[in-house]
Structure 1
Amino acid sequence: MAIEIKAPTFPESVADGTVATWHKQPGDAVKRDDLIVDIETDKVVLEVLATADGVLGAIVKNEGDTVLSDEVLGSIEEGGAAAAAPAAAPQAAAAPQAAAPQAASAPAAGDDDAIGGPAARKLAEENGINLNSVKGTGKDGRVTKEDLVAAIEAKKSAPAAKPAMTAAAAAVVQTTGDRTEKRVPMTRLRAKVAERLVEAQSNMAMLTTFNEVDMTEVMALRSKYKDLFEKSHNGVRLGFMSFFVKAATEALKRFPAVNASIDGSDIVYHGYADVGVAVSSDRGLVVPVLRNAEAMSLAEIEGGIATFGKKARDGKLSMDEMTGGTFTITNGGTFGSMMSTPIVNPPQAAILGMHNILQRPMAINGQVVIRPMMYLALSYDHRLIDGKEAVTFLVTIKNLLEDPARLLLDI
Structure 2
Amino acid sequence: MLDIAAELHRWTVQGRDFAVATVVRVTGSAPRQPGAALAVDRAGEAVGSVSGGCVEGAVYELCRQALDDGITVRERFGYSDDDAFAVGLTCGGTIEVLVTPVRAGDAVLPVVASALAASAAGLSTALARVVAGPPEFLGRAVAVPTSDLAEGQGDGQSESTDAFERAVVEEARAMLACGRTGPVTVGTDGSRCGPPVVLFVESSVPPPRMIVFGAVDFASALTRAATFLGYRVTVCDARPVFATAARFPEADEIVVDWPHRYLATAEVDARTVLCVLTHDPKFDVPLLKAALRLPVGYVGAMGSRRTHRDREAALREEGLTEGELGMLHSPIGLDLGARTPEETALSIMAEIVAERHGGSGARLTGAHTPIHHGSAHSPRVPVMDFAAMNVFAVPGG
Q: Same fold (TM over 0.5)?
A: no
* Short-chain TM bin: under 0.3
Larger radius of gyration: 1
More helix by share: 1
More strand by share: 1
